[in-house]
Amino acid sequence: MKQERASQGFFEAFHRHHTVLTRAPGRVNLIGEHTDYNDGFVLPAAIEFETWAAAAPRTDRQVRLVAGNRGEHAEFDLDHATHPGTRHWSDYIRGIAVELERDGYRLPGAEIWFAGSIPEGAGLSSSAALEMSVGMAFLHLAGVTPDRARLARAGQLAEHHFAGTRCGIMDQFVSAHAQSDHAILLDCRSLAYRHIPLPESLRLVICNSGVTHELASSEYNKRREQCEAGVTQLRTTLPGIRALRDVTPEQLQHLGARLDPVVLQRCRHVITENARVESFAQALAQHDLAAVGRLMEESHHSLRNDYEVSCNELDALVQFAQAAPGCVGARMTGGGFGGSTINLVQEQHVEAFKEFVEGGFERAVGTTPRIHITRAAAGASCVTTLPA
């Protein structure tokens, strides 16, 4: 697909040439799950699946959209775009445009064609990639050089205000900032980050369970509320804390008995997961792959038992992966309630790994998981800008 298909798609949709062409990737998270909205640490990587957006400006404030994958179109007026989401794909585009304008940018109307290769509902952040590719296109049309952190923040707010998910900043941030063959270690409070090289011998293997749970968004918001309740309850003895990020595992052990039992479970996941991100980054730096695998396993257990966001299909995928050839580590990735697992696998064993997990899962669950072998990809970019 790529560049030519986007150019052609735009031309067929709007009978003229685009002036801007952008791309932005989906992501997997290696470790640091449900920590981002607790001001904590995450370690995601962008993947080779991505969204492309071709765009050209208009002289008015109308936005005309064509979704290439679906063969559908939609439109809105930038001056009347702030109404809440309607659970339509155009909400993400309206959302990023409105949030960029709320942040002070003035955008022109536009014609936009987009399409991509990121499977939807697989927990690989297709919506963040859409926001980042289209957001970057809008900024180029407005004649400004994108500030990637502001763009990521606008994408996060688009999810809050237009999709109804009170997500953290991880997905948008990594889609905007990633570097190929690297993961990103991000401090979600300060937004300070470091590119962490991934071992050349490893591949990122994504196993998509094919399951998407209706309740994912409401359960996600509920987890966030439980974390906030934890902060409120802990603040009575730790008045200086702002978020679970400020609580150590020792403090929680000491004060845990005072918390509501479910809130305690949620806090324990977040606080131990934050510590695991740091250990994981160290293990990678020391090339200690045994520790990498152990930390991924601990993370999955914590998400399953304490945070309760896994499901049978994800657990089965992890279980088969752990017994498969070449597996360094396996865990669910992203928000959970279905979606995918991420597996770090030795390159020479990827095909055997795939076969083993596919076969085991088919026998146990009765459906075929979709397995993708990928590498860490580069973040959003503007591929061409032509004069209007």
Residue 126 vs 374, nearer CB to ligand GLA: 126
Q: Which stretch binds ligand GLA (CB under 6 A): 33-41, 46-54, 133-141, 178-186?
A: 33-41
CA angle 319, 323, 326 (to 5 degrees): 125
Convert residues 289-328 into a mask of x (bound to ligand GLA by CB under 6 A) and - (unbound): ----------------------------------------
Q: Among residues 91, 171, 246, 306, which one is catalytic?
A: 171
Tell me how far apart the alpha carbons of residues 183 and 187 are, in angstroms, rounded to a whole number: 13
129-159 b/e (C-beta count within 10 Å ≥ 16 → b)? bbbbbbbbbbbbbbeeebebebbbbbbbbbb
Taking contact as CB under 6 A, which single stretch among the options 163-171, 190-198, 230-238, 370-378 is the one that binds ligand GLA?
163-171
Q: CB of residue 166 vs ligand GLA: minimum separation in angstroms?
A: 9
Site string for ligand GLA, 169-198 (x = CB under 6 A): -xx---------------------------
Q: How far is the CB of 65 from ligand GLA (least distance, A)?
A: 23
Give the whole-angstrom CA distance, residue 32 versus residue 40: 8
For 62-65, the CB contacts below 8 A with 24+ separation are 62/109, 63/93, 63/94, 63/97, 63/109, 63/110, 63/111, 63/112, 64/14, 64/110, 64/111, 64/112, 65/90, 65/93, 65/112, 65/113, 65/114
User: Minimum CB separation from ligand GLA for residue 320, in Å?
Assistant: 23
Q: Is 44 in the site for ligand GLA (CB under 6 A)?
A: no
Determine if 277 is a binding residue for ligand GLA (CB under 6 A): no
Region binding ligand GLA by CB under 6 A among candidate stretches 168-176, 229-237, 297-305, 372-380: 168-176
Name the residue among 169, 128, 179, 195 with its Cα closest to residue 375.
179
Instruction: Check residue 273 for interaction with ligand GLA (CB under 6 A).
Output: no
Q: Tell me: does residue 33 bind ligand GLA (CB under 6 A).
A: yes
Cα separation, 347 vs 82, in Å, equals 47
Cβ of residue 185: shortest distance to ligand GLA, in angstroms? 14
If the CB atoms of residues 34 and 161 are measured against ligand GLA, the closer one turns out to be 34
Is 171 one of the catalytic residues?
Answer: yes
CA diameter of the chain: 66
Beta strands in the chain (DSSP E): 20-29, 41-42, 44-57, 62-67, 72-77, 110-116, 182-187, 193-197, 202-212, 327-333, 338-346, 370-374, 381-385
| Least Å from the CB of residue 75 to ligand GLA | 27
Residue from 132, 141, 167, 316 touching ligand GLA (CB under 6 A): that is: 167
| Calpha distance 77→286 (Å, rounded) | 53
Q: Is 329 in the site for ligand GLA (CB under 6 A)?
A: no
Task: Output 127 or 343, the one with its CB closest to ligand GLA.
Answer: 127
Of the candidates 132, 92, 201, which has an alpha carbon nearest to the alpha carbon of residue 378? 132
CB 229, min distance to ligand GLA, A: 17
Binding site for ligand GLA (CB under 6 A): 29, 33-34, 36-37, 167-168, 170-171, 334-335
Catalytic residues: 171
